[in-house]
Structure 1
Amino acid sequence: MPNFSRDEMEEMMRRWTAANQKSEREGNWRQLADCFSEDCVYGWETPNGKYEFIGRESIRETCVGAAMDPYKGWTYPYDKIVIDESRGEAFATWWQTPPGAPSREDGSPMKVIGASWFKYGGNYQWCEQMDMYDYGAITNLIKECFDKGIIKELPLMSTDQVTK
């Protein structure tokens, strides 16, 4: 069983969240792939099945590439982070937030919570990541943003779940 130091795991998460913030600012998520090992496994599930990609360059093309391209201007600020250095794992929650962080008429923020589980592989790289979220809530948020004119197009990966 891996046994990484707390300091190393905290530094990895600091690097990850900094890279995430940079990606938000620049609208380029592909650079996040540099935080993964060459043989990393990254996945998530939707009502249509499980998506899993293996390898840094595959992840760069898909998970942090084509899958994120439609979400330019969206932010994913991390909220809670739990680190288990004895297992080399981290779990974090984040908020999927539309461009401009809009609020609803009742004043509540337009955002949906999600979570990620990470397996650390050493050398400041993740060797596994699994994202978890309420797909229905996200598609409803996307439709709400489209209906209010916050976004002008429905993201490609959501058009089969969200109708105009």
Structure 2
Amino acid sequence: MPAFPRTELDAMVEHWLEANRRCEAAGDWRPLADLYTEDATYGWNVGPGQDFMAVGRAEIRDIALGAEMGGLDGWSYPYQAILVDERRGEVVGFWKQVADARRPDGTPYEVAGIGGSWFRYAGDMRWSWQRDWFDLGNVTSVFVEMMKAGALSDGMRRRLDRAAAGGPLPGYYPHGEAPVSMW
């Protein structure tokens, strides 16, 4: 694993955070794909029997940041803490998941628990891989609460309909069978 100057990694983190803010404001996460190498991978676990993995910048753009983040326009993912390991060229960021919709009491719908991303830096202001984690039970709970309250956006309804349709979804694999290992 290559070592990188701390100043370079700190600059990448700031570049990443600014790009995230722009994408949140635009409601379109796909431009983040430009911050990955051409052969990068991006994945997460979806419970005991399933993993998601996008392989290559095009899949990251189209599937992970397009289809999977589709319907989450208006949501924000404010980073709460970031840890940088310049010896390994790795970054870990802890974030919240906050909807733009509000409960009747005025508080935003927010996923409880801890979410985060683990990145490997490749140099040239690009990630070579990213792995996310989040509390699927709490995500499901918030989505159900929003459904019952009629607080889902049209994009969220389309996203959930797609997931509930029962057919295979691009990027989803039985646990342990993704084309690239989580670890």
Q: Is the 8 A contact 1:42 1:129 kept in 2?
A: yes
Q: Please give the alpha-carbon distance, in whole angstroms, between the structure 2 residues aligned to 1:20 and 1:71.
A: 13
Q: Which residue of 2 aligns with 1:30?
A: 30
- Higher RCO (C-alpha under 8 Å, 6+ residues apart): 2
- Kindly tell me: are residues 110 and 104 of structure 1, through their superposed partners in 2, closer, same or farther at Cα, counting changes over 3 Å? farther
Q: Which residue of 2 aligns with 1:130?
A: 131
- Segments of structure 1 that go 5 or more residues without pairing to the other structure are none
Superposed CA offset, 1:94-131 (max 9, x none) = 1111114x3575x8753223110000000000001000
> Partner letter of residue 26 of structure 2?
E
Q: Which residue of 2 aligns with 1:93?
A: 94
Superposed CA offset, 1:75-111 (max 9, x none) = 11111100001100000111111114x3575x87532
For these two proteins, the number of residue pairs brought into alignment is 159
The answer to whether structure 1 residue 115 and structure 2 residue 116 are counterparts is yes
Per the alignment, in what secondary structure is the counterpart of residue 119 of structure 1?
A: strand
> TM-score of the superposition, structure 2-length normalised?
0.79
Shift of 1:58: 1.1
Q: Please give the alpha-carbon distance, in whole angstroms, between the structure 1 residues aligned to 2:68 and 2:85.
A: 29
Structure 1 segment 63-74 matched on structure 2, within 5 A: 63-74=64-75
Q: Please give the alpha-carbon distance, in whole angstroms, between the structure 2 residues aligned to 1:19 and 1:119.
A: 17
Q: Which residue of 1 aligns with 2:20?
A: 20
Q: Please give the alpha-carbon distance, in whole angstroms, between the structure 2 residues aligned to 1:72 and 1:159.
A: 20
- Kindly tell me: are residues 103 and 13 of structure 1, through their superposed partners in 2, closer, same or farther at Cα, counting changes over 3 Å? farther
> TM-score of the superposition, structure 1-length normalised?
0.88
Structure 1 segment 35-50 matched on structure 2, within 5 A: 35-47=35-47, 48-50=49-51
Superposed CA offset, 1:15-56 (max 9, x none) = 111111111100111000001000101101102411111111
Q: Is the 8 A contact 1:89 1:119 kept in 2?
A: yes
Q: Please give the alpha-carbon distance, in whole angstroms, between the structure 2 residues aligned to 1:138 and 1:74.
A: 13
Shift of 1:148: 2.1
- Segments of structure 2 that go 5 or more residues without pairing to the other structure are 166-183
Q: Please give the alpha-carbon distance, in whole angstroms, between the structure 2 residues aligned to 1:16 and 1:104.
A: 34
Per the alignment, in what secondary structure is the counterpart of residue 16 of structure 1?
A: helix
Per the alignment, in what secondary structure is the counterpart of residue 150 of structure 2?
A: coil
Q: Please give the alpha-carbon distance, in whole angstroms, between the structure 1 residues aligned to 2:96 and 2:26.
A: 18
Q: Please give the alpha-carbon distance, in whole angstroms, between the structure 1 residues aligned to 2:14 and 2:67.
A: 25
Per the alignment, in what secondary structure is the counterpart of residue 130 of structure 1?
A: strand
Shift of 1:151: 1.6
Give the alignment's Cα RMSD to 1 decimal. Answer: 2.0
Per the alignment, in what secondary structure is the counterpart of residue 141 of structure 2?
A: helix
Q: Is the 8 A contact 1:139 1:158 kept in 2?
A: no
Identity %: 38
